[in-house]
Structure formats: structure tokens, C-alpha cells
Structure 1
Amino acid sequence: MALIFRWLIRLAATLVVLSVLTITVIYWLASRSLPDYTDTVPVRGLTAPVEIVRDNANVPHIFGETDADVFFGLGFAHAQDRMWQMTILRRTAQGRLSEVFGASTLDIDKLMRRLDLYPLAVESAAALDAKTLAALEAYAAGVNARLNQINTEALGRGAPEMLLFNAPMAPWRPADSVAITKLMGVQLSGHLQGEVIRARTSLALPDEDRVRDILPDFPGTGVAALPEYASLAPGVRRHAANIPVNPHPLSPFKDMAFAGASNAWAAAPSRSASGGTLLANDPHLGFTAPSIWYLARLDLQSGGVIGGTIPGMPVVLTGRSDALGWGLTSAYLDDQDVYIEEVNPDNREEYRTPDGFKAFSKRASIITVKDADPVTLTLRWTDNGPVLPGSHYNLASITPPGHVTSLNWTVLTPRDTSLAAAMALMEAKSVEEGIKAAQPYIAPAQNLTLVDRENIAMKMIGAMPRRDAGHQSQGRMPAPGWIAANRWQGTLPYAANPEFVAPVGGILGNTNNKTVDRPFPNHVSFLWGDTQRVQRWQRLMQTRQVHTRDSFIEAQLDTVSFTARSLLPLIGAELWFTGEAAPDGSAERQRQRALILLAGWSGEMNEHLPEPLIYAAWLRSLQARLIQDELGPLAAEFDHVQPLFIERAFRNVNGASVWCDVLQSARVEDCAEMARLALDDALLWINETWGPQLESLRWGDAHQATHDHPVLGTVPVLRYFVNIRQSTSGGDNTLQRGRTKGEDPDPFSNVHGAGYRGVYDFADPDSSVFVSSTGQSGHFLSRHYDDLAQLWRRGEYIPMSLDADLARAASVGVTTLTPVAP
């Protein structure tokens, strides 16, 4: 027995030693890829030395004698900190994820190949002006210089993920940067899914008034009556099961609820306490670790620029120079049209056009799949665009037999000069120059907010499709592609894009709200991103005669929900303080406690309060009760509360209260009864999930920001090191927007919001501030992986200064790139 015990002790000790050695080796290999920020690196491709000075937040300030050298330095810095992220972004655009991740990403690759995104990027790169192309080439050379350093010095393949996955990093090319620009367009698109959902809703609800209830026209006039979808595409099924959007974390195809959002507002000197212009911007994208945003300063010949960049792209997309500040918000331009294409029944290789049947353009594409046989895909195009599979956003559910669907989209432009516009914007010195610089911009469409030292403006940038006034669905639903009136007729001139310069009131802004009220076909869009946040923004802007940097920060971080303030009195009108006293522990008593809490609530979606969770659960349960019987499987598409729909139903706009009646029951239910039942549903869910003590609930426990690593975030044990989780305030409809997941089991997780925040004061530009949601490094062993995350969560910022001496005084390191002879 003693012998067995001794051997067990020896075996256990051996296992412990082996485990420690294994962990040590893994840590050593992973830490090899941590960049040394205090280093001198000889590189090829420079004309003179370049300095990358990293301030105490690890923001690189890049100094060089020429612009090409500065872009070279940015490429090197991006590759130092975000090598893996750049690899994944490029592979996604190329449709080559499956080479690394196997069959799990095959559907993503198939869709990207069908869109032909990367070949279009190659064409676009060739169409760029010489100055922009030179900048892209210099940037690519900087990325490749870091790759060469990694290979020469055996620096752990450049990122710890590279040790876990066989994902060799090919040399960077200018077309790769263009492809990532187009990939951003994919992530920000929502009109394709919007068309499909409207078509399916039209099939499920033949009464057009009921369609307008659940998919309401945004306030304003100019919307003409539309036909039922069944008349456009006869033969489609009225009810079809949902095919979920690809849930893979690497998929760029987002649900419409996450198809881009943002805030930006500006004040002229007349509305500024300091006498200088002000600008605030916080673009919203899906949360990841690391964030998609990377803060940087470029010392260009035209002057310094500083702000948010995206790794892989050598431009400051939102930021400022000494003379000009610029910010971006999603414009919600209707830049996508889905077409129903009739296939020739006698020749499946042809489709119908206005001039008769025509052969599909076709090309084979081979996808290499890890641990599986290659997949050969036949890509097909019509005159309207690429043919898409029926599984994409449930296209099969609205496609008649004998037909396929195609897509026209400005992102698929083969001569995309968007990067040239972004380059020119960094050199602009005034609002007028900024508007002119943005003219070559194609996609994705954005509202560009500009301020110089004296003026403010907002201009929608991006190519606007020119549609025929006789378009059968006005671009709101899929339409027959063989009818000439449904086809695009080029694009509108840049001058037709909405523009607001020097407004009389001295304040302008955008929360993705409707910006213009034009009749079709110059309407910009029927689908906008916000009707709620803008109400709160208007109040905050107009309740002060003058604003300051701090008041703009206060607005950016505001968590009061206009939606809660407007809907709660409406849906609870028959419930507040009514009913007899109920015994403790009963459903009636729990309902009374919830109503008492909500009655005294200001609508602030504060992470420490219980009321936001009760409110959010109530509204979610209420919408589910209202729509489930009418929409059936389609109800799953409406997983976020539609405030205008709730309001229409409870105000009985055009008979909308009919939604409160349960079709399957004999009696007629009213909206007050639905509100009571929904509140009971919500309280039951809260009790099962969070416990019965309503007063001890915390919204932040349910509304955790999920900055997850898109690859390692689900790996046991490792996920605790790579994922960043934070209790957060805000919600779907607050200015500090924290878009909720919408799906069980964690419907209120905060998954989409401001990964970048910046506030610029041109009375004292160096007092401007910015922050990102995680940290500068993509290496989870780096202290800069999440060092900005807590600042971001608390609503704090870091200095956004172009003062070189300040950056050097508090630097965490200086990397010097020295040229060597070729």
C-alpha cells in the first residue's frame, strides 16, 4: 500500500511539473509576440527614419519626413498591435476563413465569394489616384516590414492566435485595404434584410395598415401606397419558417438591428461658451475584443491628424486636425435592391431581361476547407448583380418557384474611390474643403459632420442610386428584375446628397434619424435607424443657450430613455395604483411592487437601478404577446421592441389596437389586459432568472457589455482571459446606446454600441478627448489589451492632443524605424 501511495505521489508530482512546464512554454511562446515598443528596427522602403511615439495610453504618434513614411509607420504600428485582427478581416473579405476554421465558416466564405468583394477591391485599387495608391503602398510596406521582423526574429508569429491556428499571413497589398473598406459596408448594411422582412410581413398581413403598424413609416410625409408583395411575386408562400442569420461571431452579415448606428452633433461659435466650434461623435458597431477601433495620430505634411482608425486602413475615419474635425454616422441610404429574376424554364442557364432571356455570367470559385475536401462554387451574376442563395436572410421565403434573387448594391462598385475621399478629408482645412474632399466617396453611405474653427455642416456622403419614379416597390421590397422601371439608372450627382451648412440655430446633429423628407425617388430612404434617441438629443441641445465640451460629453453619456418616459404612462394607464391590496408573495402583489417602482422612475437606464430591467422585460413580453398570433414564425424577426408599433397599438392609430386581441381566443382582449398579462410574464421571467426581490435587481447585471474575442471567446478557460465583460448603463434607445442582444438566454446583453467616443473643442483643440472600448493592443497578454475598457465604462476619456512634447513626456516607448539600402 505504501508503495502504491509513493508512486501516486510521484505521478501527481510529475503531472504538476509537466503542467507547469507546459504552461510556461505556452506563455513564453505567446509572450514572444508582444511588441517591444522601445526598439530600433532597420527596414526597407523608407526615405528617412520614422518615429512611433506611444503615449501613456499606447496611442501611437507617428512622425516622418514624408507622408509615405508616416503611412509606412502606421502600417507597422497596426501590425504590431492588431496582426490577428487584420488577418481575419482580410480573410473574411477574401472568403478564405475556412482555410483556417474549417466547415464552421464555409457559409460565410460562400457568401463573400458570391458577392465577389475581393476581386472588386482589386479593380477599385487600380482605379485610385496616384497619391492615394502611393499611400496604400507605403502602408502595405509598413505592415510587411513588421511581418519581416517577426519572421527574422522569431517573434511568436506576431500574435498568440497564430500559434493556435495555421493562418499564415501573406504580404499585405493595397487592395487589402480597399477590401476592408468594402467589408465595413457589409457590416453596416440592413436594407436587404429590411426588404425581405417587409415582403414576408406583407404576405402574412394582407391589410396594409397592419403592415404599417409593425413596420411604420417614420414621421413625415411623402410615402406613397405600395402594392402587396403577393402581386409582385405570385406563387410565394404566405408563411415560411425562419432560417436564422449566420450566428458565427466572424460573420460580417449582421441582423438588421445591428446594421450600424451612431451619434454626432456640432455647435457653432454662437452656441459655444468658449466661442469655438464643438463636435461630438460616437460611431456604433458590434463589440469585440479588441475593439475594431485603433486610436492613432499621423504627422502629415498638411498637418497632424488624430482620431480613430480601423486596422488595415491607413486613414483617420473620425477625428480632427488643427483646423477641421469630422465625425461619421450611418446615413441609412437605401443603397441595396433585391431583384426577383425569372429563370428560363427551357434553359436554366438564362434569366429574363427587358429584352428577352440572357445567359448568366458565370465563374467557378474553389474554397479550400481545413480538414475537408475543397468546395467548388459556381458564381452567377445578372445585370442587376450577383445571384444570392435562398438561405441568406430568408430570401427563399419570398422567391417564387422558377426564380432566383439577385442584389444591386453600391458596395459592389468596381471603381470604388471611397479611400481616396478619406485620404483627402485628412488634408482639408475647412468645412467647404471637407465637403468637396468627400465627393469621391461611394460606400457605405455616411452622414459626415464637419466643424472648422468658424462653421459647422453635415453632408451625406456615398453614391445614391438613381431609381425610376415608376419602380414597382420603390425599393422597399424585392421587385421583378426584368422590368426596366425597377432597375437602377446609375447614380445621382453628389449635389443631390442632403447637405446642411451653417444652420441658423447653430446646432446640428444626427442619431440615425430621418434627415430629409423628400418624395421618392429622391427620398434617400424609407428605413431609418432612430425615432427615439433624437427626441432626447433635441431636448438636451435646446435646453442650453450655449454648450461646452463637458455638456457635449454629458449628452454623449446620457442614459435617459425617451422611449420609457413616453411608453410607460401609455401602456400602464389602466394599471397605475389600481386594484386592491394583495397578499405578499402573490402575482398581484409583485405586479403592484413593480408598478410602484416604475411610477417613481425617471427613465434613466442606470446600471445600478432595478427599474430599467423591469421596464425592458415588460416591453419585450408585451410586443411578443401582441405579434405572435398574427405573424407566427415571422415574429422571431422582431426580437427588439418597436416603440412606434407599441404606441400605434395603444393609441389605436388607424385601428391598430386590433393587435391586442388574441386571434385564437373567442373573447376580445383589449390593450390594458395585454399590458397586465405582459407585466406578469416579465415578472415571472425576472423571478426565474434573477430572483423575486425586485428592489435588489441591477440593470447592469443583465446589460453587460460583451467585448468577446471572436475566435477564442468560446474556448473553455481561455475565454476568461480574452473576453471583457462590464456592467453598463444605457439601452436600445438612449444616447449612450447599448444595443441589446434581443435573443435568449441573455436578451439584454449589451452587444453593440460606441466603440469609439470623441469630443473636440476648437477653442482649445488640445483639450479635445477620445477613448475606445477596450485597448490598443490585440494581444491578450498585453496590459494595453483592456486598459481603456474601464475608462470607457465609467464615461472617462483620454487627452486627444497633437502636442508632440506631451506624447513624448509620458510615452511607454518609442519605436524608431531606420531605412536600410535595398
Structure 2
Amino acid sequence: MKFLKKALKITIVLLVLILVGGWLYSKTYHPKYDGEIELKNLSEKVTVYFDEVGVPHINAQNQQDAYTALGYLHAQDRLWQMELIRRIASGRLSEIFGKDLLDKDIFFAGLGIEEAAEKTIDNLDKSSEPYILTQAYLEGINQFIEDGKTPLEFTLVGVKKEKYTIKDVYNVFGYMAFSFAVAHKTDPLLTEIKGKLGESYLNELIGSNSENLTIIKSSIPDKINATISKKVAAIMDDLPVSSFIGSNSWVIAPEKTKNGKVIFANDPHIGFSQPSVWYQNHIKTPNFEIYGFNIALMPFPLLGHNSEYAYGLTMLANDDLNFYVEENNPDNSAQYKTSEGYKNYKIIDKTIRVKNEKDTSFQVKVTKHGPIMNGLISHLEDERPIAMNWIYTQLNNEQLDIIYGMSHAKSLDDFQQAVAKINAPGLNVMYGDAKDNIAWFASAKLYQLRDGLSTKTYLNGASGKDEVIEYLPFSENPKAINPPWHYVYSANNQPDYVRGKLYPGYYQPQDRAKRIVELLEQKDDFTREDVAKMMFDVKSSTVTEIANDLLKSLDNSKLTISEKKAVETLKNWDGTYLKNSVGATIYNRFLYEFLKATYKDELGNNFELFINSQLQDEVLPIQILRKQSVWWDDITTTKKVEVRAEIILNSFKETFAFLENQLGENVDDWHWSRVLSVEHEHAIGKAGGLLRKFFNVGPFETIGGNEVINNQIFKLDSTGYYKVTAGPSTRRIVDFSDVENSLAILPTGQSGNIFSEHYKDQAQKFLNGEFVKMKLNRTQIERSKNVLILMPKK
């Protein structure tokens, strides 16, 4: 007994020591939000006020000091995030995570992002303001690396801190640009469908491009075994940082607002992760001010505002990436065929370091179209050399000047000149200002191929007939400036005509766009509160019509009483994705079963890729209404052709049986909240167990679904559970009638430091549709409890 008491006392003492040690460790590694720090290369004192959600309000006498301060502060909250994102494009994840990420490193290292960065940096004007301020920002980051506390993740994984350079900044540009691209997920699949199933199967999929559209209108003042698709999709899905996906934005002109001033709204859709993708900050000097949202290692914000103007973006989804089939010289494998004769492949040697393993070396073969994907993607079954032609690496890159220009514009004309330089990724850039201007710009380097050539299947690299004929001037890009309908918007949907044709791309279906337009057309007295409510809207403008079109072909006489109740529930559903919605649960399972019955037999292992693609979303409402379709035939049966009604009946019965087994016999209990959840995963938290609980944020119940304004993006699959992987990366509202009280929210929190009080302090507010203030008022800012003074180092 005495032994047990002694052991218990020892255990208690150890637990107390562990708890005290953990507490002391957390205080040591907590970001410094008050007090005084000395920094090199400051010319004068910089005062930083941290508000109640940890946003730094940086007051400096000049921009160079301000950006040095920003770099230091950004690093103390997000150094681990910076470390991960800079390693992606250069193929350096295996160096810290081991051989499991080798395929991702080989792929990204071969894309040409690093080579494009080096070329761009060699040609930069080293005396320009964007370059000087970027170097100041990097200097701030590197001072934190020298003097600040090493984040816990570095210790756990065993990573040594390294200084950052401008090449890291451009590598992040490259990763961001690639994550916006869509063609690599679709073109190989469509090529396979065309080659193995035939033109009729392909045409039914891509023939829907001009149907069921809500087009963003221009208005200018009178002034099948698609290995590439599957492999790249897997690479992008499993990366330890966020991928860029979609977005909403709308800007309302004074004629449609209650207070007679512009209201700006934007919520970019990005993969959920911890920390959140955006770092908020507010810089003020005697002659400059910007409240910005920065990506790790980007000195200037992609989203921003001040008292004069606001800007944001969504993904344009134009086609800026194509695949070319090359032809080797039969007598010399070091050459490939062109219309001008055989040319030598450019050979680039690459080496990847792998944790606890030997280094991996490989070669990248490059044609005039781009790198050969064979070898960069493991087990690529196409024996032909496939080159990836990507505008981002093909044309000059002016990204640093662009984001500097967007954040330093003095007028709408200044702003337009900056976004006109965008080549890739294509962006819908949104703008509103205090002078009552609103604007939308489809910003990308658009191009023209010969008539009749589709960019959605492989092009011929050897003939010379499939080359870009012309790059279009920005003046011909779709845009709207102060249109007569008094609003502009984007939901990644089809932009207006270019040279009399709809420009090809991978645009999202009309669902969100249609709903945005419906709501904007309802009234002419919008307030900030109306827009906040609108951003949290979870009603689909299309799913009820799709569901009813499916149910029209359902033979009720072949259903049980319980099945009929499920049918009535779905019929009465208004398309709203609330927690207690039963219709949402039935609809999404029914959709999965219908798609499986229609496409799986032909697509085989590519089925999961197809049903979660933009292509499927686009073709769905048309396919449902087709009385005859090559896709109706189940090629695994002896029947000649299945009919639509039979497929729909069987799909609904499979739906009911699955949900009854999953959620119980009572249809009324099939609530959406039982199958939908969201968790913000940290790269280390993905390992599970205690690490998951310590680093991840969530899981939570939530509301919303695919392609509603509060877009909660998940994949349809056989499990019947929907884990949200992406959604609004921030929600922002700038009201120029009261710009000092503009609103924003992040999905988790401002800091990526696990010991910070701001690691997840916004998570519940985000789930509730709440906002916090983006402070511009100096008096309010100076009431902050936490004040950090950055002094020039003596």
C-alpha cells in the first residue's frame, strides 16, 4: 500500500512538472506582442499595435521600415507556413518529411518554376521600389530567424532554419499560379475518353459548355486511364499547404446601396488548413496606407483596402495550360520533331534530398512547349512524350510589380495598368473605391489558336499547326467598369464573349453566380449587414431543379412507403444546406448513385476524378434531361442499352438503402449535420492521435455545401460522409460609407503559432457567420492592449 501511495505521489509530481514545463515552454515560444525589440536596418522607431484578434497595425515613418517590420512580424506568427510553401515549387518537401513526398517533389521540381524564377530575378530592376521593399520584408523575416524563437514544428520535424531570398518569393508565386490551373486535371481525362470511347462520348461532355450559363457581362464606359489527371490531382490533394480553388466577389455601386456609397465583398475559396492562408496586417506611413491580406512570403497583399479603394480576386479559370504530344526522332532519342526539323531536348539535371534516404537524381527533358511529363509523374502509361505548355513559365513574369501596383494604386487607371500585366494565373480582379467607381477585370494573357482546335484534349506538338497564333491585347479582355446594372460580380463562372466567342476555360457551373445575381437584383438599398448575411447564404439556385428533373423520371409505383417519404422530402426541399436539412443528405447521396450508374462502367478508376470535377458539374443538368445518351448504356450488362428511367430508379433505391443503413430507418433523422464536418488540418496534425488534437482545429459541424455562396467544398465518394476540404479563406466587406468599420473573418485565427492566443480564436465566429472589425481609425487602434516597439539596433 505504501508503495502505491509513493508511486502515486511520484506520478503527481511528474505530471505537475510536465504541466509547469509545458506552460513555461509555451510562454517562451509565444509570439511577442508587446514590449520592445531591436532590429537592424531600421532608420527610425516603428510602433506596432496588435488588436484583439492579433492583427498588427504597423506605424512607421517610411515604407522600408514598415516592410522590415512586416517581415519580422509575419515570420513570428507564420514561419512554419513560410517554410512549407517555399519548399513546394523547389521540390524540397522530402527533405523534411521523407520519401512519402518524393513524387510531389519530382513533379514540382520539373515544372520549370525555379528556372522561370531565376530568369525573372536576373532581369529585375534592383533599384525599383517593389524590389527594395521586398528585400526589406525578407530582411525582417531573416532577422526573426536569427533572433526569434524557433517554432515548435521545426524542432519536432528536425528542420534547420535557413535564410529566405527573393527566389523563395517567386517560387511561391509559381506554386500559387499552378494551384489555380485546372487543365492538368481534365485534359488527359478527356483525351482518354476520346481515344478509347470515341467522339460521341467526348461530345456529350464538352458540348455542354455553352448551356445553362450565367455569364459575367462586359461593360466598358465610352471612354480514361488518364494517369496525368489522377496523379496531379493526388499530388495537389495531399500537399501540406492550401491549394487555390475558386471564390466569390461582388461590388455594389452607390445606386444600389442604402447609404449611397460602394460596398465591396470578397471571399476567396482555398483549401482549408491550419494556419489559415491569409496573414492580416495594416501598414501606415505619412504617405501610404494599406490594410492587407498576405500569403506567406508575399510582401504585398493580394487582397487589400484603405480609405480610398478596395480590391480582391477570384480565380478566372481560363485555359492557360495545354498538353502537347511530341514525337521523338527515331534515330536520336535526344531530339524531338518540330515543323522546322528535329531539335535537341533541353536537359536539366535535378537532385532531391530525402530525409533518412539517399538523394534522388533525375533529368527533366524540355521542349519548346515545356517539360516532358513522362518521368515527372510516376507510372505514366502514355508512351508518347507529353509536354506541358504553361503560360506562367512561357511568358515574362511581372508578379512583383503587379501586386505592388495593386496595393499602391492612386486611381482606377493606376490599378487597371497594374492588373493588365497579369499573364498567369488568370484572375477576376475586383475593384471599388470611395469615388463611386466599381470594376471587374478578367486579367490574364488570353490567346488564340486556329479555328476548330479544342484546348481540352492533347495538341500536336510536331506539326506546327497547333501553336498559339496570337496573344490578345488586354484591351480585348472581358471587363466591366461602372456598368449600368450597378454591380459587378464573379463566381468563377463563364466571362463574356471574346472576339465573338466564349473563351475556353474550366469555369464553374452557374450555381453561385446565379444565386448572387438573384440576391443582388432583389433590392436597391443594400447595407453592410445585408452583404454579411448574403456571404453566409446556403441556398442553392439550381439543386432543386436538378433534383426534380431526376424525380420526374422516377416510377413511384415501384417504391416502398418509406422510399416514397424520402421522395417527398426531396421534392419539398428548398435547396438550403442547413444543419437540420434532410433534403441535402438525400440529394447528395442520390447524386452520387446516379453518377455512378451513369459513368462508372465506362470510366472505371477515373470515376472518382470525374465526379468531383468542374466538367461533371457543368454537364450534370444537361445529362439528366437527355432521353438518349451513349452514357446510359451499362457496358457491364448484356442489355443493349439501359434507359434513363431504369438508371434513376435503381439509383434512388440504392440511395435509400444506403442512408437507411447509415443513419437509421427514420427519414426525418437524416440531418445534414450528421454527414458534413470541417476540420482545419495542420501538416503535423495530419499524423493523427495526440498531434491531431494539439495542432488541428476542429472537427466542427457546419452549414453549407458545394456551390452555394457559403461554399463548403467536399468530394462525393462512396463513404456517404462529406469532409469539407475547402471554402472561404476569409470573408471581407468594405463599406465606403463607413470604411473604418469594415469587416472580415478568418477560418481559424491570425497566428500559426500553437502557443498564441490567436491560433484559433476566430474559428467559432467563422462557423457562426460573424465578423470582426478591420480597424483603420487611429484612435481605436491606439487603444490596443498590446503595443510592440521596434527600435533601430545600435
What corresponds to 1:705 in structure 2?
A: 678
> For residue 179 of structure 1, what is the amino acid of its counterpart?
N
SS in 1 for 2:449: coil
1:30, 1:113 → 2: CA distance?
A: 37
Cα pair 1:30 1:160 within 8 Å, conserved: no
Distance 1:754 1:613, change over 3 A: same
1:240, 1:496 → 2: CA distance?
A: 33
**1:356 Cα deviation from its structure 2 partner:** 1.6
2:45, 2:140 → 1: CA distance?
A: 13
* Deviation digits for residues 680-720 of structure 1 (CA, Å, limit 9, x no counterpart): 22222223333333212331332212211123222311201
Asked whether 1:633 is paired with 2:618, we answer no
Cα pair 1:791 1:797 within 8 Å, conserved: yes
Asked whether 1:189 is paired with 2:181, we answer yes
1:99, 1:762 → 2: CA distance?
A: 48
Asked whether 1:538 is paired with 2:545, we answer no
Asked whether 1:460 is paired with 2:442, we answer yes
What corresponds to 2:411 in structure 1?
A: 430
2:662, 2:376 → 1: CA distance?
A: 34
Asked whether 1:595 is paired with 2:590, we answer no
What corresponds to 1:555 in structure 2?
A: 534
1:242, 1:311 → 2: CA distance?
A: 28
1:633, 1:509 → 2: CA distance?
A: 37
SS in 1 for 2:114: helix
SS in 1 for 2:439: strand
Asked whether 1:172 is paired with 2:164, we answer yes
**1:596 Cα deviation from its structure 2 partner:** 2.4
SS in 1 for 2:722: coil
Pick aligned residue for 2:130 from 125, 129, 132: 132
Distance 1:253 1:308, change over 3 A: closer
SS in 1 for 2:304: strand
Cα pair 1:510 1:534 within 8 Å, conserved: yes
1:11-160 → structure 2 map (5 Å cutoff): 18=14, 21=17, 25=21, 28-29=24-25, 31-129=27-125, 130-150=128-148, 155=149, 157=150, 159-160=151-152
Distance 1:365 1:19, change over 3 A: farther
1:245-264 → structure 2 map (5 Å cutoff): 245-246=233-234, 251=239, 260-264=245-249
Pick aligned residue for 2:623 from 609, 631, 649: 649
Cα pair 1:532 1:562 within 8 Å, conserved: yes
What corresponds to 2:460 in structure 1?
A: 480
Distance 1:210 1:382, change over 3 A: closer
Asked whether 1:572 is paired with 2:574, we answer no
1:339-378 → structure 2 map (5 Å cutoff): 339-378=324-363
Distance 1:23 1:188, change over 3 A: farther
**1:363 Cα deviation from its structure 2 partner:** 2.3
What corresponds to 1:497 in structure 2?
A: 477
Distance 1:52 1:242, change over 3 A: closer
Distance 1:561 1:249, change over 3 A: closer
SS in 2 for 1:486: coil
Pick aligned residue for 1:514 from 467, 472, 494: 494
2:89, 2:770 → 1: CA distance?
A: 34
1:804, 1:111 → 2: CA distance?
A: 48
Distance 1:414 1:97, change over 3 A: farther
Cα pair 1:662 1:669 within 8 Å, conserved: no
> For residue 677 of structure 1, what is the amino acid of its counterpart?
N
Distance 1:668 1:389, change over 3 A: closer
Distance 1:571 1:680, change over 3 A: same
> For residue 717 of structure 1, what is the amino acid of its counterpart?
L
Cα pair 2:632 2:642 within 8 Å, conserved: no
**1:658 Cα deviation from its structure 2 partner:** 5.6
Cα pair 2:31 2:753 within 8 Å, conserved: no
SS in 1 for 2:758: coil
1:542, 1:516 → 2: CA distance?
A: 19
1:721, 1:589 → 2: CA distance?
A: 48
> For residue 246 of structure 1, what is the amino acid of its counterpart?
A
2:640, 2:423 → 1: CA distance?
A: 55
**1:622 Cα deviation from its structure 2 partner:** 0.9
Distance 1:110 1:31, change over 3 A: farther
Cα pair 1:201 1:211 within 8 Å, conserved: no
SS in 2 for 1:500: strand
1:769-808 → structure 2 map (5 Å cutoff): 769-808=743-782
2:45, 2:112 → 1: CA distance?
A: 39
> For residue 566 of structure 1, what is the amino acid of its counterpart?
E
Identity of aligned residues (%): 24
> For residue 409 of structure 2, what is the amino acid of its counterpart?
A
**1:50 Cα deviation from its structure 2 partner:** 1.2
> For residue 430 of structure 2, what is the amino acid of its counterpart?
T
What corresponds to 2:737 in structure 1?
A: 763
2:662, 2:121 → 1: CA distance?
A: 52
> For residue 194 of structure 1, what is the amino acid of its counterpart?
T
SS in 2 for 1:179: helix
What corresponds to 1:231 in structure 2?
A: none
Further displaced range: 172-181 or 740-749: 740-749
SS in 1 for 2:733: strand
> For residue 327 of structure 1, what is the amino acid of its counterpart?
G
| Number of aligned positions between the proteins | 778
1:462, 1:798 → 2: CA distance?
A: 33
Further displaced range: 618-627 or 7-16: 7-16
Cα pair 1:283 1:754 within 8 Å, conserved: yes
1:122, 1:15 → 2: CA distance?
A: 57
2:765, 2:328 → 1: CA distance?
A: 56
What corresponds to 1:407 in structure 2?
A: 388
**1:241 Cα deviation from its structure 2 partner:** 11
1:68, 1:816 → 2: CA distance?
A: 16
Asked whether 1:266 is paired with 2:251, we answer yes
Cα pair 1:289 1:709 within 8 Å, conserved: yes
> For residue 463 of structure 1, what is the amino acid of its counterpart?
K
1:239, 1:132 → 2: CA distance?
A: 41
* Deviation digits for residues 358-404 of structure 1 (CA, Å, limit 9, x no counterpart): 1111121211111100111212211111122367498x34x3x3x31
SS in 2 for 1:58: coil
Asked whether 1:216 is paired with 2:208, we answer yes
Query: Please, what TM-score do these two structures have when normalized by structure 2?
Result: 0.92
**1:776 Cα deviation from its structure 2 partner:** 0.6
Cα pair 1:742 1:748 within 8 Å, conserved: yes
What corresponds to 2:303 in structure 1?
A: 318
1:378, 1:147 → 2: CA distance?
A: 33
What corresponds to 2:216 in structure 1?
A: none
* Deviation digits for residues 534-560 of structure 1 (CA, Å, limit 9, x no counterpart): 121121111213322222222211111
What stretches of structure 1 of length at least 5 have no aligned partner? 222-235, 581-586
What corresponds to 1:230 in structure 2?
A: none
> For residue 263 of structure 1, what is the amino acid of its counterpart?
N
Pick aligned residue for 1:691 from 653, 664, 681: 664
Further displaced range: 413-422 or 315-324: 413-422
Cα pair 1:185 1:444 within 8 Å, conserved: yes
Cα pair 2:106 2:376 within 8 Å, conserved: no
